[in-house]
Structure 1
Amino acid sequence: MSNPVRRPVASLWIGPRLHYLNQLCLLSHVRQGHPTTLYCTDEVSNVPEGVTVRPATEIMDIDMDIVRQTSESFLSNVFRYKMIQATDAVWIDCDAFCHKPFPDEMQNIYAGHGFRGALNCGVVYIPKDGELIHQLLDYYDNLPEAPAWFNKQQRKRIDKQDRSLPQAVRIYNAERTAFGPQAFTWFAQQTGDYEKALSSDYLYPVPFQLNDVFYDPYGRVEGHFTDNTLSVHLYTNGTKPWWRKNPPLPNSYAARMCEEIGVDPAQALEE
């Protein structure tokens, strides 16, 4: 029996090649019946079968000069809300593994992150016509001199930036997360959506600080999960270089999930 067709999910990839963990995470959503789209800025050579590829420019104009002066995460932080507004899909980071399907009726998919309590936006859905998405997009489209939540030291760091730089770059240089969790948390607090957040076990059952456990053949990753767990973030931005360049050890969570879904890590390691 084939899986039911569920709500769409989508992500963004910048660059020509996926890592095996990205292939694994994208295919985990396909397996659960979610139509899965990967928006790309480049021609990607190893997108797995079952994932739909679309140009990122369908969602927004891409200024790669700003991306080069900031980071890929800067672009994805802007892109995700424009994508949700345009397609009504759930945003998934390419290192978010789908443990169980996202319920069709769930209208607020975001959660606290790690030990700090701030909201993360690695997996997110918010109503595409709601106040929260409108405030986020207004922030990105009309960048202030300094974000409203910046403290005195952060504002000083902006003031030290060259005024000839794009404002996005000046803010990013002052605070790297000013377009990601900081912005999402601040605006959710302003609109009253902060209280609608899921608990961390739904989307981030393993804290970022413990991400080595995914590669430990004796680690009991599933001990972090609850009946609520929908997604498991693998935190590839914090993965040690050895794990990115070598196949996972047998019986580790990463190796078991690759075997279960049919991904060969040796074919898509970091070069």
Structure 2
Amino acid sequence: MWFDGPLRLVDRICLSSMVATGMPVTLYTYGDVPNVPAGVTLRDGDEVLDRSLVARLVPVAKKHQVSWLPTVQFSDFFRVFLQKSGGGLWLDTDVLMFKPFAYDPDQVYFVREANGGIGASVFYLPPDSPIIGEYERLITQDDLTPNWLEFKRRVLRPMVYRLTRTAFSPSDLGITMYGNEAFRRLARRHNLFDHAQPQHTFYHWSDAQNEDVFKQVPWTFFYSDPAYLGLHIHKKTEAAQNPAAGSLWHDALQRYA
């Protein structure tokens, strides 16, 4: 999913890597996106989720997050409602793919992160999943505070805001409360957590180690070992423009730029 404006280099490279696997790739857009790689099918994002939801996700207390948080949280809702519409597996546009893979459309498909949670970058739910129902009920509420938040943020933090007479919105309660955090809590609530794929499938280099993408370190195992399917490029630093020669990202630029 992408809002108005051109794709970043990392997104163009990763989308091209998805196309190269032979798997069908659809990019849902809101507005004009002029530099979409060849082989990517474009669809109107409003077919899945009306863009008007963005206006309900604007933080009030944390004004420094206004420029980016609504889009981030909207994308968390979008990937869930994509499952409701039968749109297939969600991949973030910054997932570099190494090989094609299949998943059972009757089973959840998500991946465990290094911190023990559930990643949002690779995500699939059957259309009748109870997790989708949780979001369907939430989006009909006037208050978008999710019932899966822990007590501290669901009750105590709003109480502090009110006691200090600080205006706030649900989006001020947490960046990932509709995404990674939600998926972890809801997967446990509905006894689906143990279905998570092992971390190495898409998050082998995570956190600080993700910088290895741009360094001259061994990486050919990603392509030769069937256990590794793709890699979420979490660290989108300046190194993405000028990686070390012989690095994984240098190879990706040679393949797909």
Name the TM-score, length of structure 2 as normaliser: 0.84
Q: Which residue of 2 aligns with 1:33?
A: 22
2:219 to 207, 218, 221: 221
Distance of 2:138 and 2:239 partners within structure 1: 37
| Percent sequence identity over aligned pairs | 21
CA deviations on 1:11-61 (whole Å, 9 max, x unpaired) are: x01230111210111111111111111111120111111111112111111
How far does the alpha carbon of each residue in 1:127-168 deviate from its partner, in whole angstroms, 9 at most, with x for none? Answer: 111222222433344356553332325633233167976xxx
Aligned length: 241
Report 1:207-246 matches (<5 A): 207-216=206-215, 218-222=216-220, 227-235=226-234, 238-240=235-237, 242-243=238-239, 246=241
Tell whether the 8 Å contact from 2:149 to 2:177 is kept in structure 1 after alignment: no
State the Cα distance separating 1:80 from its structure 2 match: 0.5
Does the Cα contact within 8 Å between 2:57 and 2:171 map onto a contact in 1?
no
The aligned counterpart of 1:8 is: none
Amino acid across the alignment from 2:108: N
2:130 matched residue in structure 1: 131
Please, what is the CA RMSD of the aligned residues? Answer: 2.4
Consecutive unaligned residues in structure 2, runs of 5 or more: 59-65
- Distance in 2, matches of 1:65 and 1:177, equals 17
Q: Are 2:13 and 1:24 aligned?
A: yes
Q: 1:248 aligns with which of 213, 220, 243?
A: 243
Q: Residue 174 of structure 2 corresponds to which residue in structure 1?
A: 175
User: TM-score scaled to structure 1, two decimals?
Assistant: 0.80
Q: Distance in 2 between matches of 1:205 and 1:214?
A: 11
- Asked whether 1:57 is paired with 2:53, we answer no
* Structure 1 residues 16 and 173: alpha-carbon distance in aligned structure 2, compared to 1, 3 A threshold: same
Q: Distance in 1 between matches of 2:220 and 2:207?
A: 15
Contact 1:88 1:128 in 2 (8 A): no
In 1, the alpha carbon distance for the partners of 2:42 and 2:6 equals: 13
Shift of 1:100: 1.9
Runs of 4+ in 1 over 4 A off after TM superposition: 143-146, 161-165, 222-226
